[in-house]
Amino acid sequence: MNQAKPYWVGFDLGGTKMLCVVLDDQFKVVARNRKKTKGIEGAAAGLSRISELIEETLSEIGVSHSQLAGIGVGCPGPIDWAKGIVSMAVNLGWQNVEIGSFLSERFDCPVEVLNDVDAGVYGEYRFGAAIGAYSTVGIFPGTGIGGGCVYDGKILRGRRLTVMEIGHMKISSSYRSSGVAMTGTLESEASRLNIASECAKLAYRGEAPSLYEYAGTDISKIRSKALATSIKNGDKAVEWVVRQAAQQIGYAVANMVHLIGPDIVVLGGGLVEAIPEIYLEEVNQVARKNVLECYSDTFEIRTAKLGDDAGAMGAAAFVASLVEPNAS
């Protein structure tokens, strides 16, 4: 590696928070900084906040622009990776935002823009639950459901746009919608938003007393911790809803096994982190029951290990793999 530029920056831009990490030439995290995105904001304000957080994180350890080898950024939604453009990020109110060229000009170094789940799966492949995998698929249920795939060391992508929008894959005959024309998608059936909606009804009807005490019937307050606490305190109806959602992810895993043949499937995101046993049990059971027999012992399902760092670390490692291939 070029010792004059030993540092890599990884940035994970989520819908509600953003995380910046700085990795040294051994890919160890030497600085970490996090801020809220302040909800939906315009592209100009958002880009300014991103560059400010990178500057702050670098200044904490005395790293100058000239010491940067590259910046990797994980962003929600489809990405025009060839041009470094966020094609659409609904949670941020962004469309066709040229984040790659903005950061490249600001910091005078190579910049790679990835889908945030691609970045997270790559992070788990390099440093976490999927080390050594030939092919790994990640499924991350949250407000929506994101997917990513690393195949033979490379992120699976289209000629121009990122792919693996697994949340928008039709999984049932349900008429539920996730904001797109197609109904019955994995996201409409198994996202935290759908779980929260169903559980709010339970709380309202008095069938989930612990959840009602913790979060009431406000969907925005029925987040991963609230669901985990509710189940721990004996709300059986809430547990049933979560298990049903996890089973839908099991069907999605079976589909991915038939299509791509991953040897490791990584389940991640706050919901899985909060209730890992339920997700591992249900996804494993459904996936193995529904794949062709010859595939039943070809894959392992694991929970993510890196937590919130996965996307930022993966983005940094990915840009490093392109700029300094021997360093990875």
Q: Write down the pLDDT at residue 2.
A: 46
Q: How far apart, in Å, are the Cα atoms of 44 and each of 79, 93, 102, 298?
A: 18, 11, 10, 47
- Tell the CATH topology of 7-125+308-327: Nucleotidyltransferase; domain 5 (3.30.420)
Of 170 and 250, more confident: 250
Half-sphere exposure of 193 (CA within 13 A, CB side): 12
Identify which of 237, 302, 315, 304 has the alpha carbon closest to the alpha carbon of residue 269: 304
The one-letter code for the residue type at 315 is: A
Identify which of 224, 231, 195, 194 has the alpha carbon closest to the alpha carbon of residue 210: 231
Task: Note the pLDDT tens digit of each residue in 225-241.
Answer: 999 999 999 999 999 99
Average pLDDT, the chain: 92
Q: What class has domain 131-303?
A: alpha beta
Cite the residue boundaries of each domain of the chain with CATH code 3.30.420.40: 7-125+308-327, 131-303
Query: Please, which residues have CB within 8 angstroms of residue 53's CB and are 6 or more apart in sequence?
Result: 11, 18, 20, 33, 35
Q: Which helix (H) or strand (E) holds 237?
A: helix 236-259
Q: Check residue 181 and report its DSSP letter.
A: S
Where does the pLDDT of residue 145 fall: very low under 50, low under 70, confident under 90, or very high at 90 and above? Answer: very high
Of 43 and 133, more confident: 133
What's the whole-model pTM score? 0.92
The separation between the first and the last C-alpha atoms of the chain, rounded to the nearest angstrom, is 10
Range 153-159 average pLDDT: 93
- The span from the CA of 215 to the CA of 227, in Å, is 9
Task: Note the pLDDT tens digit of each residue in 199-211.
Answer: 999 999 999 999 9
Of 298 and 142, more confident: 298
Give the 3-state secondary structure of residue 211: helix
Task: Note the pLDDT tens digit of each residue in 92-126.
Answer: 788 899 999 999 999 999 999 999 999 999 999 99
Identify which of 169, 160, 229, 164 has the alpha carbon closest to the alpha carbon of residue 199: 229
Where does the pLDDT of residue 40 fall: very low under 50, low under 70, confident under 90, or very high at 90 and above? Answer: low
